[in-house]
């Protein structure tokens, strides 16, 4: 059985991870590290609670809905979805919306 760890953290801590491992010098809401082996899905999903709160306000969503979206986003990365191109971002958003609908958080 695979393991998915969800680590809730601050903007500063996630920024340090973003700089150290991805060489990105900006805040983000979620970073995923994938450790899949064969058919086992495993990884660490780091979530900035501060950024999720700001996103919820900016996108006029509830904190719960935004938190679920970023966790789903991290899990989708573990499942092989990417978000580097406009097409990939569109597909990722569609998959996020499908999962949120299953949670009955969006109509």
Q: What is the pLDDT of residues 23-65, one digit of tens each?
A: 999 999 999 999 999 999 999 999 999 999 999 999 999 999 9
Q: Residue 104 pLDDT more than 90?
A: no
Give 15-47 as a DSSP string: HHHHHHHH---S--SEEEEE--BTTB--EEEEE
pTM of the model: 0.92
3-state secondary structure of 66: helix
Percent of the chain with pLDDT over 70: 97
Tell me the domain boundaries of the chain. 4-102
Fold of domain 4-102: Collagenase (Catalytic Domain) (3.40.390)
Q: Say how far apart CA 9 and CA 29 lie, in whole Å.
A: 10
**pLDDT-based confidence at 1, cuts 50/70/90?**
confident
User: How many Å separate Cα 56 from the centre of its chain?
Assistant: 14
């Amino acid at each position: 059985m695979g393991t998915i760890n969800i680590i809730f953290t601050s903007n500063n801590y996630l920024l340090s991870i973003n700089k150290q491992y991805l060489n990105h010098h900006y805040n983000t809401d979620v970073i995923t590290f994938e450790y899949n082996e064969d058919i086992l899905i495993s990884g660490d999903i780091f979530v900035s609670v501060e950024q999720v709160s700001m996103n919820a306000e900016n996108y006029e969503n509830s904190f719960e809905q935004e938190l679920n979206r970023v966790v789903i986003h991290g899990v989708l990365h573990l499942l092989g979805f990417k978000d580097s191109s406009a097409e990939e971002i569109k597909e990722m958003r569609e998959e996020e919306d499908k999962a949120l609908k299953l949670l009955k958080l969006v109509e």
